[in-house]
Structure 1
C-alpha cells in the first residue's frame, strides 16, 4: 500500500528538531477503551494511523492482530536508543506529577499509579523493540500535525490520543483547526481525538467555535462518550469526518 506523498519528512521534518511535549504513550488495551474500539472488529484487516503516537505500543499490537497500522511522531527518525532516553526522562517526570497531584487521577483500569506506570513502561518497551526493527519498513513515520505526508483518505481510521487540547498553552486555536482538518483529510472514514479536555481535565474552552469553523471548512465533528483509564475529566472523544 503506497500512502506517502513524500519521504522527505522522514528525516528532515522540522518537528524532529524539538521536543515540545512529553514523549509518552499507552497500550492497545487503553486505546480500545478511550476510542471505543473492538480490536477484532475495528482493527483487523483495516488501515489505521496513530498520530502523535509517542512510545505507544498500539501500532505494534494492532499489526500483530492483522491491522495495517502506521504511527506518526515528530521524534521518529531518531535512534531507538535516543527515544529510550526520552522515555526514561519523560516517564519519570510525568509520573512524579501524577503522584504529586492525586486529584488528577482515578483508578479504573489500574489499581494504583504504580501499576499504571509499570504497564505503560511495558508498553514503551514493546514500542522500542518494534521501532528498532520496523522503522525502516515505514511503520513509524517522522512527521507532525498540522501537515501529514499521506494522501487524502489514505486510512480507514485515524486516531490521535492525548495531544490535541492537552497543550492549549502551546498550540493556538488556528493550530487546532488545521490539525483537526488534517486528521479528517487523511481518513476515508473517521478520525477520533481523545480526550476533548485540557490540562487537569478542564473542557477545551473553544470547542463550540472549533466545531463551527470545521463545519465551515467541510469537516463534520461530533462528541461521543468515551473514557480514560487514569486521568479525570477525560470522558469524551471528538469524531471527525469529511462532509459528503
Structure 2
C-alpha cells in the first residue's frame, strides 16, 4: 500500500497514556516491545530514555520529521474541532478540556519529532505496516497496537484485521490491541468473530478492562496469548 502524506492524520500519545491503555506493569516494561501503527507517539522516546527496548513501526516513517511536523500543523486543529463537536462522547476527567488535550498531544508529538531522526538511524523507528511486518518469528515479547485495528472497522476489512492480528502473533509472544470501539463509539462488530477465529486457531484471546478511558466506553483491550 502506498501512503500519501496528505492522507495522514498524525496524532500521538505519551508514555503514561500507553501504559494505562495497555495495562503495562513495571515488569512488562522490561520486555522486548513492538509498537505497531505507532504514529508520532512519544512512547518509544520515553521508553528508550528509561532504558527500555521498544521498536515502533508505521508507514508514516517514510517521511522525514519536517514533513510529519507540517502535516501535524495542518491537521491538529481540525481534530480538536471534531472533538469539540462531539464533546459529550469523551471522558474529560484527566484531559480536562479540548484545549488541554491539544497541549498534551502536541507535547507528545514534539518529543517524537525531536527523537525521530536519531531513532530512525538507530532502527527504533521502522517504515513498515500491517498486515506484513519485517521481523522474524517471536522476535518480540509483546506487540501493541492502539487506535488503529477495530477503531477503523468501517474502513478496514475483517480479513485485514485477522491478517494483521495473526501477523502480530507471529512476531510476538503476546498481543494487545486498544481500543475495541469504532470511531462512532460502538463496540466493533468485528471483535466477536475475530476472537472466535483466533480461538479456533489455538490462540487464547481475552477482553480486559483497563484504567484508560477517553472515548466513553473505550476502556477495554484485547489481549492475545500465543
* TM-score (normalised: structure 2): 0.94
Contact 2:21 2:178 in 1 (8 A): yes
Corresponding position of 2:200: 216
User: Could you tell me how far 1:200 is from its partner in structure 2?
Assistant: 2.5
- Which stretch of structure 1 is more off in the superposition, 153-162 or 218-227? 218-227
Q: Please state if 1:42 is matched with 2:11.
A: no
Q: Following the alignment from structure 1 to structure 2, what is the Cα–Cα distance between the partners of residues 197 and 80? A: 30
| SS of equivalent to 2:141 | strand
Matches within 5 A, 1:143-154: 143-154=128-139
| SS of equivalent to 1:124 | helix
Q: CA RMSD in A?
A: 1.6
Q: Please state if 1:176 is matched with 2:169.
A: no
Matches within 5 A, 1:121-132: 121-132=106-117
User: Could you tell me how far 1:91 is from its partner in structure 2?
Assistant: 1.8
Residue from 137, 140, 154 that aligns with 2:125:
140
Q: Following the alignment from structure 1 to structure 2, what is the Cα–Cα distance between the partners of residues 204 and 113? A: 25
Q: Please state if 1:22 is matched with 2:6.
A: no
| SS of equivalent to 2:62 | coil
Q: Please state if 1:199 is matched with 2:183.
A: yes
User: Could you tell me how far 1:229 is from its partner in structure 2?
Assistant: 4.2
Seen in structure 2, the aligned counterparts of structure 1 residues 20 and 236 have a Cα distance that, compared at 3 Å, is farther
User: Could you tell me how far 1:90 is from its partner in structure 2?
Assistant: 2.6
Corresponding position of 1:233: 217
Residue from 81, 92, 99 that aligns with 1:114:
99
1:95-120 Cα shifts (integer Å, max 9, x gaps): 11001111221112212121111011
Contact 1:15 1:144 in 2 (8 A): no
1:9-35 Cα shifts (integer Å, max 9, x gaps): xxxxx4444665522110000011111
Q: Please state if 1:86 is matched with 2:56.
A: no
* TM-score (normalised: structure 1): 0.87
1:98-144 Cα shifts (integer Å, max 9, x gaps): 01111221112212121111011000000000002221110100111
| SS of equivalent to 1:87 | helix
Seen in structure 2, the aligned counterparts of structure 1 residues 21 and 104 have a Cα distance that, compared at 3 Å, is farther
User: Could you tell me how far 1:88 is from its partner in structure 2?
Assistant: 1.5
Seen in structure 2, the aligned counterparts of structure 1 residues 21 and 191 have a Cα distance that, compared at 3 Å, is farther
